[in-house]
Amino acid sequence: MNRFLKRIQNLLSHKFYSFEITEYEIINSTIKPGGTFKVKGIIRNSGLRIGTTYLIIKLADPYNHNNIIFDTDRDFDETAKQTLRLVDISPNDKREFCVIISMSNFFKRGVLDIKLELWSPAKLFKESSTIWNTALFYQTSWRGGIEIITPTNIIAKVFISYSWHSNEHIAWVRALAEELSKHKIETVLDQKDLYAGEEITQFMETSAIQIPICIAVCSSSYTSKADSRQRGVGYEVSLLTNEILEGRKKAMIIPIIRDNPEKKKPKFFGSTLHIDMDTKNWKGEPLIRLVDAIRRANK
């Protein structure tokens, strides 16, 4: 049922209340058992009255969606479930949500599909819920979402240096890290390894100096900031350049091209051969070239 028809059904059946999820995304969708991932998105009040809705997130076997592996309504404690109650959203207003889900060590290697649902708040307060006040306002379709990996014998550890010039680029770098993890390559990335309250400069110094291999994602923004030594990119490049001059990182910094139509690398790379990942098919041959380069550098 499309959104318009579902909205009309809600308005007629549920006292002019209606809600929908306009967008959502999964952060860190490739995880190890015991790891965490985030689901964030936007809920819109598509009804005619100010109202409250209750978000439920489900994970299931991709080959049998009746086999629910995880359900926030079932597996979250009462306090955690209260955070999924989005209160007093005005008509046509939107409310952002972000949920952290921890995967038990009991989960084995495999994939899980994900589905989101919006219910009336009576669904949460089961002791007062009835068939008349419990309503399902909206549900997404099942889609592939989570991949659980159990990598053993990690072949290399790499630091990823890049520029935060757009949300799309940040998401792509995160996807790159997830793909590398499937090839037994552990990545150090500020998005997942730097936490609020920690020193940014110390993180950059420790990562750039102590981790033997670095991937430099050479976007146009990265190249510009690196050459002019601007902001965090400029500081990281200064650290990496010093490591090269001191002879500690020869052939250990691998440049890749992304969001860079001119294919221009920072000057300190000179004639170093890069890997062009500025293509829709970057998960194919370009990714394998990068994995091979990391393997060779690690030796």
CATH code (residue 222): 3.40.50.10140
- Stated pTM of the model: 0.77
What integer is the mean pLDDT of 189-211?
74
Q: In this structure, are 263 and 201 located in the same domain?
A: yes
Q: In this structure, are 144 and 7 located in the same domain?
A: yes
Q: In this structure, are 184 and 280 located in the same domain?
A: yes
Q: In this structure, are 133 and 199 located in the same domain?
A: no
Q: In this structure, are 290 and 162 located in the same domain?
A: yes
The pLDDT of residue 113 is: 94
**116 lies in which domain range?**
3-148
Give the residue carrying structure tokens 């059904």. 9
Give the domain-ending residue among 84, 115, 148: 148
Query: Based on the structure, what is the number of domains in the chain?
Result: 2
What integer is the mean pLDDT of 106-135?
83
Give the domain-ending residue among 109, 130, 148: 148
> What value does the mean pLDDT of the chain take?
85
What integer is the mean pLDDT of 164-193?
89
Q: In this structure, are 7 and 121 located in the same domain?
A: yes
More confident residue, 225 or 24: 24
Q: In this structure, are 10 and 144 located in the same domain?
A: yes
Asked if the model's pLDDT at residue 122 lies above 80, the reply is: yes
Q: In this structure, are 180 and 292 located in the same domain?
A: yes
* Neighbouring residues of 142: CB distance < 8 A, sequence distance ≥ 6: 60, 62, 65, 113, 114, 115
Q: How confident is the model at residue 46 (pLDDT cuts 50, 70, 90)?
A: very high
Give the domain-ending residue among 105, 132, 148: 148
**For the chain, percent of residues with pLDDT exceeding 90:** 47
- φ and ψ at residue 15, rounded to 5 degrees: 55, 40
What integer is the mean pLDDT of 89-116?
88
Q: In this structure, are 209 and 130 located in the same domain?
A: no
Asked if the model's pLDDT at residue 158 lies above 70, the reply is: yes
Cβ-contact 213, 254 below 8 angstroms = yes
Q: In this structure, are 174 and 270 located in the same domain?
A: yes
Asked if the model's pLDDT at residue 251 lies above 60, the reply is: no
Q: In this structure, are 143 and 168 located in the same domain?
A: no
CATH code (residue 43): 2.70.50.60
The pLDDT of residue 4 is: 76
The pLDDT of residue 106 is: 64
Asked if the model's pLDDT at residue 219 lies above 90, the reply is: yes
Q: In this structure, are 11 and 137 located in the same domain?
A: yes
